[in-house]
């Protein structure tokens, strides 16, 4: 009998993953306006009541889709920091470079941004301005990764949070409104990074 709850949990997880992937595909091919709970339920092969029970509202689904996309970026950012274990400026510059290059080729992000001039803008506020779950989670995750990776004993938690938020917001600005090549954007953020982090801390041994 103990296997039954575990099996049910696994099936619910698989259902959630399938729902998120289905919604993502619809956004990428037809835009967020084409996504509705009835259509997603039909595509996945479940009833609407089951979908609402497991996922919640359409806005909840939007949050889940964007959170999963954020995970991809956070893994790459962590890997970028790991490539420069003794230099916080170099590590964050590499993370910015990864974010901008990956974002420029990201199908979901392109689909969301392409709807800015139409009525299909429901995902954009969630992605760009809501403090939670996207920006807040990114700030927490990147700040924790930087604190764990580098020796920044001279920085308080508030100071590190402020510096990290500056970098994230500047990077998002270049990501959402690019005005030139990625190299130029990375160079601009790198200049800010040197001013923010070079005077503090010391390379980790």
- Residue 174: closest CA among 160, 161, 188: 188
65 in the same domain as 48 = no
Largest CA distance in the chain: 60
What CATH number has the domain bearing residue 1?
1.10.10
- Residue 79's CB is within 10 A of a number of other CB atoms, namely 12
Cα–Cα dist 153/139, whole Å: 19
62 in the same domain as 34 = no
- Residue 28: closest CA among 128, 106, 125, 122: 106
**DSSP letter assigned to residue 155:** S
203 in the same domain as 121 = yes
Looking at 38, 56, 74, which one is the last position of a domain?
56
What CATH number has the domain bearing residue 118?
1.10.357.10
Provide the domain limits for residue 81: 57-205
Q: Is the pTM of this model over 0.85?
A: no
pLDDT, one tens digit for every residue, the chain (205 residues): 556 678 788 888 899 999 999 999 998 888 888 889 999 999 999 999 999 999 998 888 988 888 888 898 999 999 999 999 999 999 999 999 999 999 988 888 877 766 544 545 555 555 555 545 577 888 999 999 999 999 898 999 999 999 999 999 999 889 888 889 999 999 999 999 999 997 654 444 3
26 exposure class (CB count in 10 Å sphere: 0-12, 13-18, 19+)? buried
């Amino acid at each position: 009998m103990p296997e039954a709850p575990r099996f049910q949990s696994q099936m619910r997880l698989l259902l959630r993953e399938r729902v998120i992937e289905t919604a993502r595909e619809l956004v990428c091919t037809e835009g967020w306006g084409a996504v509705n709970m009835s259509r997603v339920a039909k595509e996945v092969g479940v009833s609407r009541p089951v979908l609402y029970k497991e996922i919640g509202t359409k806005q909840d689904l939007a949050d889940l889709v964007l959170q999963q996309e954020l995970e991809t970026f956070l893994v790459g950012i962590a890997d970028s920091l790991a490539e420069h274990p003794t230099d916080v400026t170099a590590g964050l510059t590499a993370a910015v470079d990864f974010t901008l290059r990956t974002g420029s080729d990201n199908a979901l992000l392109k689909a969301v941004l392409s709807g800015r001039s139409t009525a299909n803008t429901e995902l954009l506020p969630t992605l760009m301005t809501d403090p939670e779950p996207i920006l807040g989670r990114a700030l927490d995750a990147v700040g924790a990764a930087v604190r764990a990776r580098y020796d920044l004993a001279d920085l308080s938690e508030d100071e590190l949070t402020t510096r990290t938020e500056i970098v994230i917001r500047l990077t998002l600005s270049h990501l959402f409104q690019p005005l030139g090549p990625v190299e130029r954007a990375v160079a601009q953020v790198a200049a800010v990074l040197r001013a923010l982090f070079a005077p503090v801390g010391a390379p980790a041994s």
